[in-house]
Amino acid sequence: MNHSLFEMSGKTVLVTGASSGIGRETAILLSIMGATVVLTGRDTGRLEETLSRMAGDGHKVEPFDLGDVDAIPAWIKRIASQTGPLHGLVHSAGIQHTIPLRVLSAAKLEEQMRTNFTSAVMLLKGFRQKGCVAPRSSVVLLSSVLGLAGQPAVSVYSASKAALIGFARSAAVELAGEGIRVNCVAPGYVETEMAGEIRTKMTPEQFEAISRLHPLGLGTPGDIAHSIAFLLSEAGRWITGTTLVVDGGYTAH
Amino acid sequence: MQKEEFLQHMSAMVDLDEGTLTGLEKLEDLEGWSSISMVAFIAFADEHFSKRVSPRDIAGAETIDDLAGLVGL
Ligand SMILES: NC(=O)c1ccc[n+]([C@@H]2O[C@H](COP(=O)([O-])OP(=O)(O)OC[C@H]3O[C@@H](n4cnc5c(N)ncnc54)[C@H](OP(=O)(O)O)[C@@H]3O)[C@@H](O)[C@H]2O)c1
């Protein structure tokens, strides 16, 4: 086995959602694997905290509100002009609202679609620009098991995560000739801030029920970061347009 | 938000026509009050009152007026 396939030194990766949870853990892991990481999120303090836990140097903190979708491509161009071409993009920024249809407003729908999905499209549009992307690169979008299987009160979140799966397929085909691989990772329930927030809205019995749906138990951010790193690395060079489900068995039954 | 508007939102949450709730209704007597209504109420309290209501708080409420109390009305 060629271990250097997992080597990330000399590679620059942009990670969204790097101020928390899965994005934070991914940034830390990539730094340990040798990558230079550009960390983004809205909260500078929490981005700096991620940075303080990373290995190596040369990483950059670039706060940005991805809700400003039209500004994303120019923002990526500016970053790449400072870091050099990007080898990877991880889109872990996302929001999950638990709202049953009976009280859902179009505004809440659009906020979730914009943060989870529209931003991903504009990130990839920016990433593929000439001068921004290295000759061989890899993009990982964070979908969810809820993009594959249903639950009550999360229909719009599910739709936004399913949209990423469809988008990754066609984008993978469109961008293969440009040397860009595009994949999704679909996690089950991982204990992060997002998950903690959702947990406060459940009774202990409801939480126990969710736990039981995962035969291997609940996941950790590290479980997801490892899969992301695999898809980013040369070990995943023949994988594109797919969704890697990392869910402790949630979708197995 | 005034009480009247609150009652309109509550009607939607329990699947009743607008203007049919007074506030005195017992939740257990309302056919449309379900676990989905509870989730809807939590989302509503968060969106319109920036209040974090827990499932336990809701379990302690007997009437629509008790729910109004949870969001400070
Ligand atoms: N945790 C789970 O169980 C789970 C399961 C399946 C899928 N996922 C997906 O995995 C991804 C990461 O989840 P997580 O649990 O790590 O979430 P998290 O801890 O809540 O972190 C979400 C991240 O998104 C960023 N973000 C949110 N809105 C943003 C905006 N408008 N602009 C820029 N950044 C924004 C936040 O940064 P700031 O607050 O600094 O802006 C934060 O870093 C999400 O896409 C989520 O849907 C999570």
pLDDT in tens, A69-116: 999 999 999 999 999 999 999 999 999 999 999 999 999 999 999 999
Nearest to A201 by CA among B38, B11, B48, B50: B38
Instruction: Give tens-digit pLDDT for A16-63.
Output: 999 999 999 999 999 999 999 999 999 999 999 999 999 999 999 999
- Give residue A1's pLDDT: 60
Q: In what order do the strands lie in the sheet with A60-61?
A: A60-61, A36-40, A12-16, A86-91, A133-142, A180-187, A243-246
pLDDT of residue B18: 87
Please say whether the beta carbons of A122 and A70 come within 8 A. Answer: yes
Q: Whose CA is nearest to atom 16 of ligand 1?
A: A21
Prediction ipTM score? 0.86
For residues A133 and A127, the answer to whether their CB atoms sit within 8 Å is yes
At residue A190, the 3 state secondary structure works out as strand
pLDDT value, residue A4: 86
Beta carbon pairs, A and B, within 8 Å: 43
Report the pLDDT value the prediction gives residue A124, as an integer from 0 to 100: 98
Joined together, the tokens standing for residue A73 give 């491509």
Q: E strands within A70-212?
A: 86-91, 133-142, 180-187
B17 Cβ under 8 Å from any chain A Cβ? no
- The answer to whether A91 touches A165, Cβ cutoff 8 Å, is no
B3-70 belongs to which homologous superfamily? Answer: ACP-like (1.10.1200.10)
Residue range B46-67: average pLDDT?
Answer: 94
> What per-residue confidence (pLDDT) applies to A197?
86
Region B20-38: mean pLDDT is: 94
Instruction: Quote the minimal CA–CA distance from A160 to chain B in Å.
Output: 19
**How far, CA to CA in Å, does A145 sit from each of A184, A214, B51?**
11, 11, 29
Residues A171, A137 contacting (CB under 8 angstroms):
no
The secondary structure of residue B30, as a DSSP letter, is -
Identify which of A141, A12, A7 has the alpha carbon closest to the alpha carbon of residue A82.
A12
Grouping H, G, I as helix, E, B as strand and the rest as coil, residue A152 is coil
pLDDT in tens, A179-207: 999 999 999 999 998 888 888 888 888 89
C-alpha A153/C-alpha B49 separation (Å) is 20
Domain boundary assignment for chain B: 3-70
Chain B residues near residue A157 by CB distance under 8 angstroms: none
Instruction: Name the catalytic one among A117, A157, A189, A230.
Output: A157
Given this model, what pLDDT does residue A201 score?
84
Integer Cα distance of A169 and A147 in angstroms: 14
Residue B53's pLDDT is: 94
Q: Provide residues with CB under 6 Å of ligand 1.
A: A 16-17, 19-23, 41-43, 46, 65-67, 92-96, 115, 142, 144, 187, 189-190, 192-195
Ligand 1 centroid vs A194 CA: distance in angstroms? 7
Digit-coded pLDDT (tens) for A129-144: 999 999 999 999 999 9
Strands (E) across A112-203 are located at 133-142, 180-187
Arithmetic mean of pLDDT, A227-246: 98
CA A69, A72, A74, A78 torsion: positive or negative?
Answer: positive
In chain A, which residues have their Cβ closer than 8 Å to the Cβ of B47?
105, 108
In CATH, which of 3.20.20.150, 3.10.690.10, 3.40.50.150, 3.40.50.720 is domain A3-247? 3.40.50.720
Give residue A3's pLDDT band: very low, low, confident or very high (50, 70, 90): confident
Residue of B nearest to A108 (CA): B47
| Domain ranges across chain A | 3-247
Å from CA of A17 to ligand 1 middle? 5
Q: Is the pLDDT of residue A2 over 80?
A: no
Please confirm, yes or no, whether A250 is among the known catalytic residues: no
Backbone angles phi, psi at A182, to 5 degrees: -135, 120
Tell me how close the Cα of B45 comes to any Cα of chain A, in angstroms.
11
